[in-house]
Structure 1
Amino acid sequence: MTDADDFTSDCANCAALCCLALAFDADASFAHDKPAGVACHNLAATEVGLGCAIHKDLTQKGYSGCVAYQCLGAGQRTTALFDTTWRDDPKLTVPMMDAFRQMRSVQKCRQLLLASQALSLPRDLEMQRDSWLDRITPDIWSLAALEQFELDNTETEVTMWLRGLANYVPQTT
């Protein structure tokens, strides 16, 4: 698997974007309410950057939602697009949150399109899938490219195209 096809979250190379950008309500998965754009109160500065102060005890302390969440590699890819982070320059909070949301959408589409390679599709649909993958897998993402992905409504188009593959999904009994 190439790095471009790696959907693993790399928290060590991220600016704790999920701990900032995502909102959650206190329930069985999260022990407190947190609005989007406000850093989680468990986020702490460490010797290597930002980190969760209760990471090793998330489930026991009521944060199983954090354990279950996967950014699909969007966090580290977004962080790499900026020279500094929201923590060092608060003016970057909104731009980083927007880019993270957009990159998460890109990664979700890419992962689903790659998963569709397991289907037996007619050649024309394989070519369409490959065309989608080419469009959303540039060598280097930029903030402008992420914005264009959103403006072009690409996630919706990919989702609609993928729904059209329902007849090719093997039925289980």
Structure 2
Amino acid sequence: MRDEPGSTAPARGELQADCAQCFGLCCVALPFAASADFAVDKAAGSPCRNLRTDSRCGIHTELRQRGFNGCTVYDCFGAGQKVSRLTFGGEDWRAGSSERARLMFDVFPVVRQLQELLWYLTEALDLSAARPIRSELGRALDRVEALTRQGPEQLVELDVPAVRQEVNVLLLRTSELARAKTGGGRKKDRRGADLMGARLKGADLRGANFRGAYLIAADLTGADLRGADMIGADLRDTDLTDADLTGVLFLTQPQVNAAKGSAGTRLPASFTRPGHWTP
């Protein structure tokens, strides 16, 4: 919270992956199956074959060409460096016992979920429309931040779904307040909708609710998405060419990375334009 006393709102940079400060946790802790997103199978707790001894990816600049698209759309929201440097005090999973390594791998996805909640809460606190509930948002952020700083034994026992539910009530209210101030006519409610392959080229979708919607391979070329709520929306192969996403709510970099776009796609200022988008 930027102007509320007592809040411990993290800077955006703290909610983004810093692989140089992590022991490659996402490349070890998480499982994946051979598919369009991953070239091979990998079990949870087993190091990816591309992970180097310095905890960096050996094919980082060629992930898409080598069949690892899934890696390019993943972000830990800073959980990797927090678990590596704070929760485990700089202890590399390679250096300790197998039990200690397994504990680190179990803690990582818990902290990742909490860090994602911090991303959304930090954004909510920056919205002027959320002023009526700013104190509640600040208290929620402080609580979640405190949870991320617990010891590993406490973190693995945490009821994450319950925490998410509490935070989601506030994020829903924030969305309602913000979208009500968005221009356009009646706001479209597409929450959880199956819009795979939908033809929405040039559509006026200002202030629409796309929470949890399936927009896989949908055509949103030139669509106006200003002020739309995109939390949890599946944007894999969604065509955002020339679309306007300025002011969009609760968008994440992994969602943007999963979509298609162009130089004409308008993104919020804090986002990076993916290298695979067309010029």
Return the TM-score normalized by structure 2: 0.54
Distance in 1, matches of 2:99 and 2:51, equals 19
Residue 97 of structure 1 pairs with residue 99 of structure 2: no
The 3-state SS of whatever aligns with 1:120 is helix
Return the TM-score normalized by structure 1: 0.83
One-letter amino acid of the structure 2 residue matched with residue 128 of structure 1: E
Residue 37 of structure 1 pairs with residue 8 of structure 2: no
2:17 maps to what in 1?
A: 9
Name stretches of at least 5 consecutive residues in structure 2 with no aligned partner: 3-7, 183-205, 207-223, 225-279
Does the 8 Å contact 1:25/1:33 carry over to 2? Answer: yes
Q: Deviations over 1:57-104 (max 9, x none)?
A: 111111121122111110000001214222122222221112211211
The 3-state SS of whatever aligns with 2:80 is helix
Select which of 138, 151, 158 maps to 2:167.
158
Higher mean displacement: 72-81 or 156-165:
156-165
Task: State which structure, 1 or 2, has the greater radius of gyration over its C-alpha atoms.
Answer: 2
Residue identity over aligned pairs, in percent, reads 30
Distance in 2, matches of 1:148 and 1:88, equals 21
Distance in 1, matches of 2:24 and 2:60, equals 12
Residue 57 of structure 1 pairs with residue 66 of structure 2: no
In the comparison of the two structures, how many residue pairs are matched?
169
CA spacing shift, 1:23–1:42, aligned 2, 3 Å: same
What RMSD in Å do the two structures reach over aligned CA positions?
Answer: 2.8
What are the residue-to-residue correspondences of 1:1-173 with 2, within 5 Å?
A: 4-5=10-11, 6=13, 7-45=15-53, 49-80=54-85, 81-83=87-89, 84-89=91-96, 90-117=98-125, 118-123=127-132, 125-138=133-146, 141-143=149-151, 147=155, 150-151=158-159, 153-170=162-179, 171=182, 172=206
2:192 maps to what in 1?
A: none
Q: Deviations over 1:105-160 (max 9, x none)?
A: 1111111011112251353x111101111212249813259628823732221123
Distance in 1, matches of 2:121 and 2:136, equals 10
Does the 8 Å contact 1:99/1:143 carry over to 2? Answer: no
Higher relative contact order (CA 8 A, sep 6+): 1
Does the 8 Å contact 1:78/1:103 carry over to 2? Answer: yes
